C-alpha cells in the first residue's frame, strides 16, 4: 500500500501560480505533487492558467494561489470596498486601541479640484482637533472610575483601559481617516475584488484597484491579467440611485433601529427535519412530515439533543444554516465598521450620510466635553449636506463614525449564534454589544427554542444603551 504523505508546497520555493498549477494537474496526472512541481517552470504555469483558468473557465484553480497584501494609508471609506470581499481575511488598524494624528486623513481627488476643498479640510481638521482635544478629558474621567492598581505603571494602566476612553472619542473620526490593513486572499477572490474596485464610483478606490492589480501581478501575472472594470456594476451604480431617489421619503414610523423583517415561521420544523435527514435516510419532505407529526415532547427532546453542548466555543451543527433572518438595522458607523467584518452574512449598507443623526456616548457628557463634540459633529453634518448636493459618494468622506447608517442584512442561525455570542461579550465595544443583544432578543422572540442555547451576558441591550449613550 502506498504510504500516506502530507507535506507543504512552500511559497518560499514555488511561485503562487506554480503552486496553483501543481494542484490543478493532480486532476489528470498520477504523479506526486513534488514530481509535478519539479517539472514545472513559471512559463509553463502561465500557459496552463491561460488555457484552463482563463480559456476554459476552470477558475477555482486560481484559489490555490494565495497572496498577502499590505495596504497603508487608505481611507476608511475605501477600506469598506476592500473588505467587502467575503472570501478573504483582514486585519486592520483598530479605532479602539490606536489614536489618530491631526493630518492622518485623506483628501479625495474629486474634492481637491472642486470649490469644496477649503471647507472639507477645515471641517476635517475640526473633527481631528476635537478628537485630540477631548481624549485627555475622557481619559481623566475613566481614571476616576478605574484608578491605578497597586504597583501598576502608568503605561500598564493605559494599556488596560485605553479602549474605554478611545471607544468614546472614535465617534468623531470621519470616514476619511487613514487606515492600514493586511489582506490575505486567493487570486480568484482577488480578481473579483479588483473588478469591483475598478468599477467603483470613488476615484480613490479605482486608483487602489489599479495599484493593487499592478502589485499583485508581480506574484500572479497571469491570473489577474483580465481583471477589468465591470460595465454591469458601473451601470447599476449610476442608474439605481436615480431610480431609488424617485421613491417616497421614509415614513415617520420607520424609526426603529433593529427590525426583524423576515424569518421562517416553520424554522423549527425545518431545522429538526434537516438534522434528522442528515443522520438518517429519509427524503427531506418525509423527514419534515415526521417532525410535523411528532408530539411536543418528542420535538423538545430532539431539539435539546441538537442544542446540548452548544456554547461560545462550540457552534451548532451546519444544519442551523438552513434557516435565515433578515434585519433592517440602523447603527453608528463605528459599529458598522466592525459589523461589516462578519463575512458569513449578506450585508447591503446604504451610503454613509449625516441624514440619520448621530449618537453621543455618555462618557463624552460625563467628561464635560459635550459642547466641543456637538460643535464638531454639527459642523460635519452641515459640510456633509453641502457636499452631498454636489456628490453624495464623495460627501461620505466627511461623515464621522458617530453618525447612523442603515444596513439590510441576512444571515443564518449558525452565524447568528457566532455573531451574537462574540459581539455581546463584555470586551466588545458598547455599540456593537447593544446591537448583538438586540438581534439575539429578536431571534429569541420568534424562535425561543432554537435560540435558547446562545450564551449571552446577563445585561440587556437597554441597560447598555442607558449606560453608554446619552
Ligand atoms: C475582541 C475583538 C478584537 C478585535 N480586534 C480587531 C482588530 O484590532 N483589528 C481587526 O482588524 N479586527 C479586529 N477584530 C475583528 C475580528 O478579527 C474579526 O474580523 C471579526 O470579529 C469577524 O469575526 P469572524 O471572522 O469570526 O466572523 P465571520 O466573518 O462572521 O465568520 C464566521 C465564522 O466563519 C469562519 N470563517 C469565516 N471566514 C473564514 C476564513 N476566511 N477562514 C477561516 N474561517 C473563516 C470562522 O469560524 C468565523 O468565526 C476584533 C474582534 C474582536 C471580537
Residue 3 phi/psi, 5-degree rounding, is -80, 140
The percentage of residues in the chain with a pLDDT greater than 90, rounded to a whole number, is: 92
Asked if residue 407 lies in contact with residue 350, where contact means CB atoms within 8 angstroms, the answer is: yes
- What is the structure's pLDDT at 50? 83
Nearest CA-CA partner of 326 in 451, 412, 437, 268: 412
| Residue 315, ligand 1, Cβ within 6 A | no
DSSP 3-state of 91:
strand
User: pLDDT digits over 14-34, tens only?
Assistant: 999 999 999 999 988 999 999
What ligand 1 atom has the least distance to the C-alpha of 423?
53
Ligand 1: residue whose CA is nearest its atom 20: 341
> d(Cα 304, Cα 315) in Å, to the nearest integer?
15
Q: How far is residue 373 CA from its own chain's centroid?
A: 27
- What is the structure's pLDDT at 55? 80
Nearest CA-CA partner of 67 in 90, 99, 93: 90
User: pLDDT digits over 372-389, tens only?
Assistant: 999 999 999 999 999 999
User: pLDDT digits over 172-199, tens only?
Assistant: 999 999 999 999 999 999 999 999 999 9
- What is the structure's pLDDT at 57? 80
**Tell me, what DSSP letter sits at residue 353?**
-
- What is the structure's pLDDT at 56? 77
Q: How far is residue 340 CA from its own chain's centroid?
A: 2
What ligand 1 atom has the least distance to the C-alpha of 344?
30
Distance in Å, CA 34 to ligand 1 centroid: 34
Distance in Å, CA 341 to ligand 1 centroid: 7
Secondary structure E strands in 258-385: 258-263, 324-332, 346-349
- What is the structure's pLDDT at 314? 93
Q: Where are the domains of the chain?
A: 1-64, 267-319
Q: How far is residue 127 CA from its own chain's centroid?
A: 24
Strand pairing report for 66-75 and 88-92: unpaired
What ligand 1 atom has the least distance to the C-alpha of 419?
30
What ligand 1 atom has the least distance to the C-alpha of 90?
11
Distance in Å, CA 403 to ligand 1 centroid: 24
DSSP code per residue over 105-141:
B---HHHHTSTTHHHHHHHHHHHHHHHHHHHHHHHHH
- What is the structure's pLDDT at 45? 86
Ligand 1: residue whose CA is nearest its atom 32: 344
User: pLDDT digits over 202-214, tens only?
Assistant: 999 999 999 999 9
Residues in the chain, total: 470
Burial (CB < 10 A; 0-12, 13-18, 19+), residue 22, is buried
Q: Give residue 46's pLDDT band: very low, low, confident or very high (50, 70, 90).
A: confident
Ligand 1: residue whose CA is nearest its atom 16: 341
> d(Cα 278, Cα 337) in Å, to the nearest integer?
37
> d(Cα 446, Cα 424) in Å, to the nearest integer?
19
- What is the structure's pLDDT at 330? 97
- What is the structure's pLDDT at 59? 87
What ligand 1 atom has the least distance to the C-alpha of 92?
11
Asked if residue 271 lies in contact with residue 450, where contact means CB atoms within 8 angstroms, the answer is: yes
User: pLDDT digits over 93-118, tens only?
Assistant: 999 999 999 999 999 999 999 999 99
| Residue 91, ligand 1, Cβ within 6 A | yes
pLDDT higher than threshold 90 for residue 406: yes
| Residue 340, ligand 1, Cβ within 6 A | no
Distance in Å, CA 80 to ligand 1 centroid: 15
What ligand 1 atom has the least distance to the C-alpha of 87?
41
| Residue 342, ligand 1, Cβ within 6 A | yes
Q: Give residue 138's pLDDT band: very low, low, confident or very high (50, 70, 90).
A: very high
What ligand 1 atom has the least distance to the C-alpha of 427?
1
User: pLDDT digits over 218-276, tens only?
Assistant: 999 999 999 999 999 999 999 999 999 999 888 766 679 999 999 999 999 999 999 99
Asked if residue 161 lies in contact with residue 400, where contact means CB atoms within 8 angstroms, the answer is: no
Q: Give residue 289's pLDDT band: very low, low, confident or very high (50, 70, 90).
A: very high
- What is the structure's pLDDT at 250? 81
- What is the structure's pLDDT at 364? 98
pLDDT higher than threshold 80 for residue 315: yes
The percentage of residues in the chain with a pLDDT greater than 70, rounded to a whole number, is: 99
> d(Cα 331, Cα 337) in Å, to the nearest integer?
10
Mean pLDDT of 415-432: 97
- What is the structure's pLDDT at 58? 82
The Cβ of residue 72 has, within 10 Å, a number of other Cβ atoms equal to 10
| Residue 312, ligand 1, Cβ within 6 A | no
pLDDT higher than threshold 90 for residue 334: yes
Q: Please, which residues bridge with residue 330 across strands? A: 406
- What is the structure's pLDDT at 251? 77
- What is the structure's pLDDT at 140? 95
Mean pLDDT of 415-427: 96
Ligand 1: residue whose CA is nearest its atom 5: 94
SS3 content of the chain, % helix, strand, coil (to 5): 55, 15, 35
Amino acid at each position: 500500500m502506498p504510504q500516506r504523505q502530507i507535506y507543504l508546497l512552500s511559497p518560499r520555493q514555488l511561485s503562487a501560480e506554480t503552486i496553483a498549477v501543481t494542484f490543478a494537474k493532480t486532476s489528470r496526472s498520477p504523479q506526486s505533487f513534488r514530481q509535478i512541481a519539479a517539472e514545472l517552470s513559471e512559463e509553463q504555469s502561465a500557459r496552463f492558467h491561460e488555457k484552463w483558468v482563463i480559456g476554459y473557465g476552470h477558475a477555482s484553480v486560481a484559489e490555490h494561489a494565495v497572496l498577502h497584501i499590505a495596504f497603508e494609508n487608505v481611507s476608511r471609506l475605501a477600506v469598506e470596498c476592500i473588505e467587502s470581499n467575503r472570501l478573504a481575511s483582514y486585519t486592520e488598524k483598530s479605532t479602539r486601541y490606536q489614536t489618530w494624528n491631526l493630518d492622518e486623513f485623506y483628501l479625495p481627488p474629486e474634492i481637491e479640484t472642486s470649490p469644496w476643498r477649503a471647507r472639507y479640510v477645515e471641517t476635517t481638521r475640526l473633527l481631528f482637533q476635537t478628537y485630540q482635544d477631548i481624549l485627555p478629558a475622557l481619559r481623566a474621567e475613566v481614571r476616576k472610575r478605574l484608578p491605578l492598581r497597586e504597583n501598576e505603571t502608568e503605561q500598564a494602566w493605559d494599556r488596560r483601559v485605553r479602549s474605554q476612553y478611545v471607544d468614546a472619542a472614535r465617534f468623531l473620526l470621519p470616514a476619511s481617516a487613514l487606515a492600514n490593513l493586511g489582506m490575505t486572499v486567493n487570486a480568484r477572490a482577488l480578481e473579483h475584488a479588483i473588478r469591483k474596485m475598478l468599477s467603483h464610483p470613488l476615484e480613490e478606490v479605482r486608483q487602489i484597484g489599479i495599484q493593487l492589480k499592478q502589485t499583485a501581478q508581480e506574484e500572479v501575472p497571469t491570473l489577474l491579467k483580465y481583471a477589468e472594470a465591470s460595465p454591469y456594476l458601473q451601470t447599476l451604480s449610476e442608474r439605481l440611485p436615480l431610480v431609488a431617489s424617485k421613491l417616497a421619503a421614509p415614513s415617520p414610523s420607520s424609526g426603529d433601529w433593529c427590525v426583524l423583517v423576515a424569518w421562517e415561521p416553520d424554522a423549527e420544523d425545518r431545522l429538526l427535519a434537516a438534522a434528522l435527514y442528515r443522520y438518517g435516510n429519509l427524503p427531506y419532505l418525509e423527514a419534515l412530515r415526521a417532525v410535523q407529526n411528532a408530539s411536543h415532547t418528542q420535538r423538545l427532546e430532539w431539539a435539546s439533543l441538537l442544542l446540548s453542548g452548544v456554547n461560545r466555543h462550540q457552534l451548532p451543527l451546519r444544519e442551523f444554516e438552513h434557516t435565515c433572518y433578515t434585519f433592517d438595522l440602523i447603527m453608528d458607523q463605528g459599529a458598522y465598521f466592525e459589523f461589516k467584518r462578519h463575512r458569513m452574512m449578506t450585508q447591503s449598507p446604504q451610503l454613509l450620510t449625516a441624514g440619520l443623526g448621530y449618537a453621543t456616548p455618555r462618557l463624552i457628557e460625563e467628561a464635560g466635553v459635550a459642547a466641543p463634540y456637538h460643535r464638531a459633529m454639527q459642523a460635519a453634518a452641515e459640510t456633509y449636506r453641502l457636499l452631498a448636493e454636489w456628490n453624495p459618494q464623495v460627501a461620505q468622506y466627511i461623515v464621522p463614525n458617530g453618525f447612523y447608517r442603515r444596513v439590510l442584512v441576512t444571515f443564518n442561525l449558525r452565524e447568528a449564534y457566532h455573531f451574537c455570542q462574540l459581539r455581546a461579550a463584555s470586551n466588545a465595544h458598547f455599540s456593537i454589544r447593544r446591537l448583538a443583544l438586540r438581534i439575539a432578543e429578536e431571534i429569541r422572540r420568534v424562535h425561543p427554542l432554537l435560540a435558547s442555547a446562545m450564551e449571552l451576558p446577563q445585561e440587556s441591550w437597554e441597560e447598555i444603551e442607558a449606560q453608554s449613550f446619552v
